[in-house]
Structure 1
C-alpha cells in the first residue's frame, strides 16, 4: 500500500461521515448527479431536516418555562439544543470553505511519508533507495517511518474511541425510548408513546400517535444521526490534520539534526545548503497549512470552547439528579462525548504547539557550529521563527492547548456546583 493510499485509508471513516453530511473534501470518481447532490443540496437538506426538530425543541422549552415546568425537565432539553447548534457551527465553515479544506487535505496527502519504503541491497549488503543511490542515512529514515507509523496508530486509536462514544450517544437516545415502549407493552399490555426528544410540532402528536408517531420517531432518529455525523466528521478531520502536522514537525526535527550532524566533505557545502533549503520550504509549508486550518476551525472552536462548560456541567447535573434510568444512561454517554469533543480540540492544538516549538530545539541540538556562515544564517532564521510556535486559537480568544482544557474543566465544575446548590435549596 502506497503512502497516499495509507493516508486515504486512515481518513476513510471521516470521509464517509462528511460525505453523508454533504461535505466533500477529496477529488475522486463519482457519478456527476450524485456529486452535484452532495456539493449543492445535501448539506442544506440536512440542515432543514435537523432544524425542524431544533425549532420545535426551542418552542417546547419556551412553553415549558411559561407553564412552569421544573428545572430538571427544562435542563434535559438545553444540552440537546446546544449540541445541535454546535454540530452546525462545526460543519458550516467546512462546507462554505470547501476549497481551502480540499487544499489542506491534498497538501497533507502529498507529503505523507511512506511507512514501508522500497529498498534493495547491493552486492556489499549496503542499503540503497529507489534511485540506486547508496544510503548513509538509514537510521533517520527508519526513525521517520517509526514516527509516521506511531502517528497513524495513535490517530486510529483515538478515533475508534471517539466513534464508539458518538455511536453510544446515538444508540441510547434513539433506541431506549423504543425499548421502553416494548417493555411496557410486554408487562402491562399498554405502551405509552415516547420519543427521543420533546419537540413541539404544528400538529398534535399525542392525539394522532397511532398513525403519526412512527414518522415522528423516524424524523428524530435521522436528526440525531445528522448531528452525530457532523460532530464526528468535523472533529475527526480536525484531529487528523493536527496529528499529521505534528508528525511532519517531528520528522523535520529528525532531518535537521541528522543533516547537520552527519559528516560532510569540504566540497559538500552547496549540497548541504540546498538540502537545508528544502527543510526550510517544508517548514514554511507546514506553517501555511496550520494557518489554513486555523481559518477553517477558528470560530467553531470558539463556539465549542464556550459551550463545552455548559454541556459538561448540565450533563453531569442531569446524571446526578435524574431519577429516570433512561436519562441517566443517555447523559452519561453524552457527558463523555462532550468531554471528548473539547479534549480533541485542545489536545490537537497542543500537539501542534509543542511539535512546532521543538523545531528550534532540534536546530540547537544539531552540529550547527561545523556549518559554514551561509548555512548558519539560514539556521538562525529557522531557530528564531520556530521559537514562536504555530498555534490554533478559538478566534484569538484562547489558544487551543491543554491549559485551555483545564480551564474548561474548572468552569464546568464551578457551574455544576452552582446548579447543585440551587437545586438543593
Structure 2
C-alpha cells in the first residue's frame, strides 16, 4: 500500500472503542491528562450515581435468587436470575480491579504508548492497520452481542406490553420488568413509579454491559499491541542478514541485537503488568462464565419460546467472551514464542561469541513466553476455553439431573 494513502493512527485512535464505552458510564481512562476539571467532576458524579443505582438492583437480584431457591415452583426463576446475577458480579469485580489498579493501568498505557509506532513508515513496517482492522472487527462483534443481550432483556417487556395494549387490544398495559429483581416497594403501583424504575433498571443494565465489556476490550487492545510488537521482532530477526564478520559490521550487528533485547524485555514487562491488573478478575471471569453458560443452557432447555431467544443471545455472548480472551491469550503465547524461534533460525554460525551470547539471551527469555494468566490456571489459551466448556457442561448435567429427579 502507498505510504501516503495509509491512514495515520495515534495511540488514542487505537484505544478508541474501550475509551468511548467507558466514558458513556462516566469512567475517564485519561482523567489524569484532562485539563477540564469541571467536566471530570461531572463524569465522576455520573459514574458514582450509576454504580449506586446498579448495585441497588444487584442486591435485589441476590434477594430474589435467595427467595426463589426456597421451593420447586420458583426454581426456574432462580436459575433465570442466576446468569444475570453472575454477570452483574463480574461487572462489579472488573470495575473494582480497574479502580484498585488505576495507577498501574495508567503506567501500562504510558508504556504501550512509548512503544507505539509514530510515523506512517513505522506503522507500515509494524503492519499496524492489519492488527487494528482485526481488533476492531472482534471488538464490534463482542460489543454488539453484549449490548444486544442487555437491550433485549431491558426493552422486551415494554415493547411486548406496548404491542399487546395498542395493537392486540389487551385489557390493560402490563407493567413488568426484564430482570427478576426483589423490590422493597411496589414498583408497579403507579405509572410514574413503574417508568422511573424501568428507566433506572435500563441504565443499570447498560452500565453492567459496558463495565463487563470494556474491561475485556482493554485486554484485547493491550494483547493486540503486544502481539504486533512480538511479530515485528520476529520479522526483524528473520530479515536481518549477516553479510560479513569484520569488526565494524560485527559491532553494528551487536548494537542491533542489544536494542532488540531491550525491546523484548520491555514487552515482556508490559505483559506481566497486564496480568498484575487483570489476572484475578480473569479467574473470576472464567468461573462466573462457567456458571453463566450452565444456567443459561438450563434456561434454554426449560423456558418458553420467547425466553429462549433472550437466553440464546446471552449464551452466545458468554461463549464469545470466553473464546475471545482465550484466542488472544493463545495469540500472545504464539507470538512470544515466535521471537525465540526466529532468533534460533538466524544465520548466527559465523558470528562472534558476544553476538551468540546476546542471541542466546533472547532465546532463553522466550522459553517463558508472554501470556495472559489467571491464578491457579495454566496460561490462558484454547485449552482454557475447552476447560471452561467442560466445567459448564458438568454443572449443567448436575443441575439438569437434580431438577428432573426432584
- TM-score between both structures, scaled by the size of structure 1: 0.87
2:116 aligns with one of 112, 118, 134: 112
Name the residue aligned to 1:345.
Answer: 325
Cα deviation, 1:68-117, whole Å, max 9, x if unaligned, reads 54321111101111100001111211122222111212222222235732
Give yes or no for contact 1:280–1:382 (8 Å, CA) kept in 2: yes
Report the equivalent of 1:175: 155
Q: What residue is the counterpart of 1:375 in the other structure?
A: 355
2:378 to 390, 398, 404: 398
**1:359 aligned partner:** 339
Q: Check conservation: 2:8, 2:119, Cα contact below 8 A.
A: no
CA contact (8 A) 1:18 1:229 kept: yes
Contact 1:257/1:367 (8 A) holds in 2? no
Equivalent residue number for residue 89 of structure 1: 93
Which among 173, 197, 207 is matched to residue 226 of structure 1? Answer: 207
Q: Deviation at 1:20? A: 3.2
Q: Which residue matches 1:62? A: 66
1:275 to 256, 262, 265: 256
Aligned to 2:398: 418
Secondary structure at the aligned position of 1:117 is classed as: helix
Three-state SS of the structure 2 residue aligned to 1:370 is coil
Distance in structure 2 (CA, Å) of the matches to 1:249 and 1:400 = 18
TM alignment of 1:15-414, pairs within 5 A: 15-26=19-30, 28-38=33-43, 41-66=45-70, 69-113=73-117, 116-117=120-121, 144-146=125-127, 148-186=128-166, 187=168, 188-206=170-188, 208-259=189-240, 261-264=241-244, 266=246, 267-325=248-306, 327-414=307-394
RMSD: 2.2
In structure 1, runs of 5+ residues without a counterpart are: 119-140
Unaligned ranges ≥5, structure 2:
none
C-alpha separation in 2, matches of 1:30 and 1:164: 32
Q: Give the distance between the partners of 1:114 and 1:265, measured in 2 at CA.
A: 33
Q: How far is the alpha carbon of 1:317 from its aligned partner?
A: 1.3
Q: Distance in 1 between matches of 2:351 and 2:7?
A: 33
Deviating beyond 6 angstroms after TM superposition, the runs of 4 or more aligned structure 1 residues are 1-4
Residue in 2 that maps onto 1:126: none
List per-residue Cα deviations over 1:132-158 (Å, max 9, x = no partner).
xxxxxxxxx96x343x33211110110
Q: Contact 1:352/1:391 (CA < 8 Å) preserved in 2?
A: yes
1:4 to 1:99, Cα distance in 2 relative to 1, 3 A: farther
CA deviation map 1:149-173 (0-9, x unaligned): 3211110110111111012112211
Q: CA deviation at 1:41?
A: 4.4
Task: Note if contact 1:312-1:412 (Cα within 8 Å) is conserved in structure 2.
Answer: yes
Per-residue deviation at 1:183? Answer: 2.0
Pairs aligned (count): 397
Distance apart, 1:379 and its partner CA? 0.6
Mapped contact 2:77–2:180 kept (Cα < 8 A): no
Are residues 3 and 366 of structure 1, via their aligned partners in 2, closer, same or farther at CA, if it must alter by over 3 Å?
farther
